[in-house]
């Protein structure tokens, strides 16, 4: 059974691991130059760093950076749709499962070997992708634009070991869909739709509740105010930097003296915007002092950076549980011979 499964799976495996191998070689060749430039950047910023310096390092490489992160996110989709679904559905479409079942191999052993062998390959592919991309991207992670960090939804799914949980879930979802529907193309569509839905629901509705968010109220000063949030003449609040490196900011809003989010602020708050000329700094400072005296604060609701591995463990556990349930469903659906 192992030899037969490998014969059926080898072309798909060589295609995926071939691409990942080529990416690994390319990144290994590019890594020395990237690390050398990053070391030079740190040397120049040893005493004082300006944000623009980091921008000049990050933005020229931003395209490759986001493509590599996308690659890591896509690997679970590929193994679920193109490895998981055809693993069983193609057998039923062609009727080749009867040839195996008529031999000494039981149905559940047949299923166990196929799911076990290809499932391990799926997890290995995801592990290779995240390991290589995380290693190469480390200098860019450290200099990324504000709000882009390991806890942010755009990057969390492409770092750490949660990718292994995503790959296991996508693969077992594909196997279950192929076994239940028994037609490859419809099962692929169902697998893709359910997996994408899970990837949307998890960061928006589930992940924020893994722990109680922290809350911080910030006094507005010229050092942290970057603008005014306004729609026409309606001023909805001030735009304030949270000053929380690596944090996942869930809300950053202006509140009044009672702690309630403001809907409209007085028109004079427009003077608190960052001045275009040095002469306007006095006006801005006076405006911010007036804002503080009126009891306005900036309330930031966030998850601190040190919760990254905790959240990775929680989410990986959730997807691992769903994966085991899907495998159990497959074994229940395949009646023993």
Q: DSSP secondary-structure letter at 281?
A: H
What does the pLDDT average to over 291-309? 94
Q: Is the pLDDT of residue 168 over 60?
A: yes
Paired with 215 in beta bridges are 301
What does the pLDDT average to over 51-79? 90
- From CA 223, how far away is CA 226, in angstroms rounded? 8
Three-state secondary-structure class, residue 160 = coil
Same domain, 314 and 237: no
What does the pLDDT average to over 62-82? 96
C-beta of residue 166 within 8 angstroms of C-beta of residue 65: no
Same domain, 174 and 297: no
pLDDT at residue 189 in the model: 96
pLDDT at residue 105 in the model: 66
Can you say whether residue 260 is alpha, beta or left, with left for phi > 0 and alpha for psi between -120 and 50 degrees?
A: beta
Establish how many alpha carbons lie within 13 A of residue 217's alpha carbon, considering only the half-sphere containing its beta carbon: 12
Q: Which residue segment(s) compose the domain that 324 sits in?
A: 2-210+307-333
Q: Into how many domains does the chain fold?
A: 2
The distance in angstroms from the start CA to the end CA of the chain is 16
pLDDT at residue 65 in the model: 95
Same domain, 241 and 118: no
Same domain, 278 and 247: yes
Same domain, 204 and 225: no
Same domain, 170 and 239: no
Distances (CA, A) of 313 to 225, 235, 249: 36, 41, 20
Secondary structure (H, E, C), 79-121: HHHHHHHHHHHHHHHHCCHHHHHCCCCCHHHHHHHHHHHHHHH
Element of type H or E holding 122: helix 107-142
Structure tokens at 13: 């495996």
Same domain, 185 and 37: yes
Q: Is the pLDDT of residue 77 over 90?
A: yes
For the question of whether the overall pTM of this predicted structure is more than 0.75, the answer is: yes
């Amino acid at each position: 059974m192992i030899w037969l499964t490998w014969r059926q799976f080898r072309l798909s495996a060589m295609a995926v691991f071939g691409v990942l191998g080529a990416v690994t070689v390319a990144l290994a060749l590019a890594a020395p130059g990237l690390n050398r430039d990053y070391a030079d950047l740190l040397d120049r910023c040893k005493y004082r760093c300006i944000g623009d310096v980091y921008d000049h390092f990050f933005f020229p490489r931003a395209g490759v950076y986001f493509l590599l992160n996308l690659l890591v996110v896509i690997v679970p989709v590929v193994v679920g749709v193109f490895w998981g679904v055809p693993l069983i559905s193609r057998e039923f479409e062609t009727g080749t499962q009867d040839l195996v079942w008529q031999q000494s191999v039981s149905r559940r052993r047949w299923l166990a070997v196929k799911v076990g062998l290809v499932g391990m390959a799926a997890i290995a592919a995801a592990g290779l992708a995240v390991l290589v991309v995380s290693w190469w991207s480390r200098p860019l992670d450290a200099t990324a634009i504000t709000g882009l960090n390991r806890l942010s939804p755009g990057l969390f799914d492409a770092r750490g070991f949660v990718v292994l949980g995503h790959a296991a879930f996508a693969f077992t979802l594909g196997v279950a869909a192929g076994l239940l529907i028994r037609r490859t193309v419809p099962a692929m569509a169902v697998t893709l739709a359910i997996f994408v839905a899970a990837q949307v629901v998890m960061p928006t509705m589930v992940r924020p509740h893994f722990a109680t968010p922290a809350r911080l109220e910030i006094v507005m000063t010229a050092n942290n105010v970057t603008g005014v949030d306004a729609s026409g003449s309606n001023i909805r609040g001030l735009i304030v930097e949270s000053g929380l490196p690596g944090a996942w900011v869930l809300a950053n809003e202006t509140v009044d003296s009672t702690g309630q989010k403001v809907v409209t602020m007085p028109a004079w708050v427009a003077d608190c915007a960052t001045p275009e000329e040095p002469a306007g700094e006095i006006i801005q400072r006076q405006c911010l002092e007036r804002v503080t005296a009126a009891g306005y604060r900036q309330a930031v609701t966030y998850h601190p950076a040190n919760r990254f591995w905790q959240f990775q463990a929680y989410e990986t556990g959730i997807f691992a549980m769903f994966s085991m349930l899907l495998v159990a469903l497959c074994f229940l659906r395949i009646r023993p011979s």
